[in-house]
Each structure stands twice: as C-alpha cells, then as structure tokens.
Structure 1
Amino acid sequence: MRKHSKVIMLGFVILVWGVCSSTSGRAYGAIPTATMQEIDRVNEKGPYLGIIVPNSFEMNPLLQSPSFVADLEVPYLDYFGRRFRLGKVENEKVIIVMTGLSMLNAGIATQLLLILFKVKGVLHYGIAGNANPQLQIGDVTIPQYWAHTGLWNWQRYGDGPNDELALESNGDYTREIGYLRFANYQNASENGKPVDNFLNNVWYQPEEVFPADGIPEVRQHSFWVPVNKHYFKVAKRIEGMKFQRCVNSTCLPRAPKAVRVKSGASANAFVDNSAYREFLNSKFNITPIDMESAAVALVCHQQQIPFIAIRALSDLAGGGSAVSNEADIFASLAAQNAVDASLRFITLMFP
C-alpha cells in the first residue's frame, strides 16, 4: 500500500511539473514555446546559407549593403544572447549571426545556428593578421585548411623532443604535429647557440572531435580542418578580384587582391609579434591569423555542414615597422574587402 501511494504521488508531481512547464511557455527548461514557434516559421522558408561574423564593425558593411534585404516578416530572432538576422543576400536566403570575440564565442554561436535553424552551408568572414610576407594588408585570403594553434601541451623544463609528454601514453596528446622552443627566440646566446629557457617547449595538439554521426564519446582528432571542396573550387573564381586600397589619404602600395592560400590559424590570442608570426608561417604555412575561424570550422566539421572562411588582412601581426598595429588604420578597409569578396562568392556559389 505504501509503494502504491508513492507511485500515485510521483505521477501527481510529474503532472503538476508538466502543467507548470507548459503554462510558463517552456518545455523541460529549454527553448521558450513562443521562440520555438518562431524558429519553426523561419525554418519553413529554409534552408539558409549561414553567415557568421565576429564583430559589429565587420558585420555592419554587409547589413548596410544594398545586396542585403532584411526579411519583412521576421527580420531577426533573438535567442541566448545572439541576434539571428534573416533576409536575402544576392537573392540567396541567409541567416546572419555575430559571434563576438574568441574561439568560445564563435563555437557557441555556430552551434546555436546549426541546431536551431535549417542551414545548408556556412560562410564565415572577417579580418585577420597576416603571417605571409608574400601578401600585403588589404588582401583577401581564402584558406583551404584551418587549424586551432592554441591547444598546447607545455613540456616541463629539462625535457626535450625525445621525452614523452604527460598523458601521451593514454592517447591524449601527441608529438606528431610539432613544437615551439622558446630558447630559439632569445637575444642571448652562448657560443652562437641559444641558451636554455625555463619556458622550454610547447607542443601543438589536435582538437578532439565527436562527429554528429559517430559513436557517442568515441573521439576523433583533427588539427587541419578542410573547408568544403566545392566551396573552395568556386572561390578560385574570386582570385584576382581587386579591392579598395585607400583609407582617407593613406593608401596601400597596390590594390589588394583575393587569393586562395593553403592554411589559416586561430587561437585566443591577438598576434602582434614578428617572431611568432614568422614561426607560424615557416612551421605551418599559415597566412591569416585570427581568433574565430578554426572554431567555426571545427563545429561545421563536427556537424558535417559545408563551410568556407574569407579573411581580409588588416595588419602584419607584428611584422611591420610601424609603432602601432596597422589594424588601427586598415581594419575598416579590410572589413569592407572581406564583405565585397563574400558577396562575390555568394553570387558565384548560388547564381
């Protein structure tokens, strides 16, 4: 009799909780019912091209472009601190979302976009530092691969390349990708050789990836994340496109151009250091350096959504001779160039 009473009481609690959840407009503490209904209405018009942008000064030139027309019925939908703007760009249905700074924000915004909305592909654009001495500020780069270069295993002082990393035997870390030796970047030397540095070495690590169609909790690893092959092929038709070269009376040596490159890198660090810039380029053949693209790439890779990133170079990542970072002058120009290249890509990709 006591057991039966407990079952009845449990059923009553569940019923009351369900009614309260329903009347409050939420189901299981998740998306409010009214918001879910709006999302359903939006998705009925899909699928969309998702456009992901880091910051407002990079997004505004797109929103102010005559190529963008906001949806008259639902111009935007706000959820979880993000505003998802709906409309058309060059007659292609799009959802535009701003991520905010850093890998974490970029990953969260991308995941929300792909979970909430019917998205057929992702275009990510913005500005970046330039690690490639063959290119100049203002040039628009379209990498074939992206890497997160901020995931390290920091080796203790005294250990070297032949010493196993902590937890390497468990399969958590690897020495396959390579390392940065801090002693190689000291001014002091003994007999022409770098002296030891207590910071020692950091080894670059791949991300753990759990594919949407994979076995749950069975990890895969990815350091180089490729963009979509077809998107990258279409982007070849952007190469040679010319862009504006002056900000007020300050002009670049030549008109910037668009170029496909081998690889780009992202990490939660603003690189304004010539030594690290040169290292990334010589070690990994990196051209653009930013703080978001690899996060967007990794989420799209995990969700198996076609992806491409277009990054215009706003500065030399510490490789210039100026006292201040060049982005102070050329960030607006680079942002506009990235938008112009993105609009051209959309026209070519979705004629």
Structure 2
Amino acid sequence: MKFKDKELGANGRFGDGAAEELALEAHGDYPRRFGDLKFSNFNNYSKSVPHLLNRVWYQPDAVFPLNSIPEVRQHAFWVPVDNTYYHIAAKLKIVKLEGCVNTTCLPRSPAVVRVKRGISSNVFVDNKAYREFLSSKFDATPIDMESAAVALICLQYKTPFIAIRALSDLAGGGSSLSNESSLFASLASQNAVIVLIKFISLLVS
C-alpha cells in the first residue's frame, strides 16, 4: 500500500493517532471496521530491538462502474467464485502433479484441493502465528498477494471468476531456517499451469 508524504505519521509510519484516516475513508471507502491489529500490543519487551511494525487492518475495496459516474460505486470485501467454475474444479482432483525439483521432493504428494475461501494480502506472509490468526478470523485456507486484484476486476466487468493457485510455501508453518518459496516456486508454477490447462479442457468440453 502506498501513501503520500502528508499521510505518513511523524515517525514515517501511518496511523500515529486514532483520528488519522486514510484518503476517502470518511466517505465510506477503505474503512477499518473489519479489524485493526496493532503489532505493538504484542511486543517482546525482553529484547532491546524496537518494534518498527505499526498496524494492519482489513478493508473492502471500492469497485467503480464502467459506464457511470465515479461517485456511484460499490464496496467489496469478498468476491464470490463462479458456481459453474467451482463445480468444474471438483474434477481437477484427479490431476497428477509434479512433486520434485531436481532431487528435492515435497514431503508428501501434492494434490488439487478446492477451498471454500482464500484471501489476498499486500504483504508476504511468513509467520506461523499470523497465518493462524488469518485462518481463525476469516476461515480462509490459502493466502496470496495477487488473486484479489483479479477478482475485483472480474467483479467490475461482471466476468466469471475463479482462482487457480499452487502454494509454494506454508506461510511460516514450514522450515524454521528458510522460506520454502525460494525452492518450490518453480514447481508451484509448473503445477498451476498443469491444472489450468486441464481446467480449460474441461471448460470447453
């Protein structure tokens, strides 16, 4: 998320005061009513390292119409997946996926799974506690950084939407030494393409 200089707090972080608002928030855009998690409430005071994270909140996005005045807009927090696409996706569980990158293999065989709810974040999530918090708060399984943008465009254009993603890491729930995405990103991309090709074949058949 990008901010203009005038929207930054005195210490370079947004939200130094409760009265501060995001641009257009007073007009109903980008409200923080879905939660406002202040990281400083969870400081580990046994360490001398200052806490530089500020806060995170969850907000609906404004979706502007294509053929109307800009002031007429709707707000979307969840974007529904197309029912036809979702039912077709049930047939993808038989797709065989690759499980190895060179000589390094996943600890278990990868599988195609339909999920009821996924979310997008504007930060890369690599923290087990925060991953579990998002799961308990929103009942969501996968976390990515891109699908919401596609979903909102589909909503704006009234186009059927579904997201096909391959997970390359466990968002902080895997190795304590490194994030798995650096190793399995290429494998995830390959498997996503395999599933997408199969989905298209089912869609046109």
State the TM-score, normalized to the length of structure 1.
0.47
Equivalent residue for 1:179?
36
CA contact (8 A) 1:267 1:291 kept: yes
Q: 1:343 aligns with which of 167, 179, 197?
A: 197
Change (3 A) 1:200 1:270: closer
Equivalent residue for 1:323?
177
Q: What pairs with 1:76-91 in structure 2 (closer than 5 Å)?
A: none
Change (3 A) 1:211 1:233: farther
Unaligned residue ranges in structure 2 (runs of 5+): 2-13
Does residue 1:227 correspond to 2:81, yes or no? yes
**1:307 is matched by which residue type in structure 2?**
F
Equivalent residue for 2:104?
250
**Aligned partners of 1:348, 1:259: CA distance in 2, in Å?**
16
Change (3 A) 1:225 1:155: same
Higher strand proportion (structure 1 or 2)? 1
Question: Which structure has the bigger radius of gyration?
Answer: 1
RMSD: 2.7
Unaligned residue ranges in structure 1 (runs of 5+): 1-101, 103-153, 190-196
Change (3 A) 1:170 1:329: closer
**Aligned partners of 1:199, 1:224: CA distance in 2, in Å?**
26
**2:194 is matched by which residue type in structure 1?**
D
Higher RCO, Cα 8 Å, sep 6+: 1
Residue 320 of structure 1: how far off its partner (Å) = 1.8
SS at match of 1:309: coil
**1:251 is matched by which residue type in structure 2?**
C
SS at match of 1:221: strand
SS at match of 1:312: coil
Identity %: 59
Equivalent residue for 2:45?
188
Change (3 A) 1:247 1:201: closer
**1:282 is matched by which residue type in structure 2?**
S
CA contact (8 A) 1:211 1:301 kept: no
**Aligned partners of 2:74, 2:185: CA distance in 1, in Å?**
37
Equivalent residue for 2:168?
314
SS at match of 2:117: strand
For residues 277-309 of structure 1, give each alpha carbon's deviation from its aligned partner in whole angstroms, at most 9, with x where no partner exists. Answer: 222222222322222211111111101111211
CA contact (8 A) 1:297 1:307 kept: yes
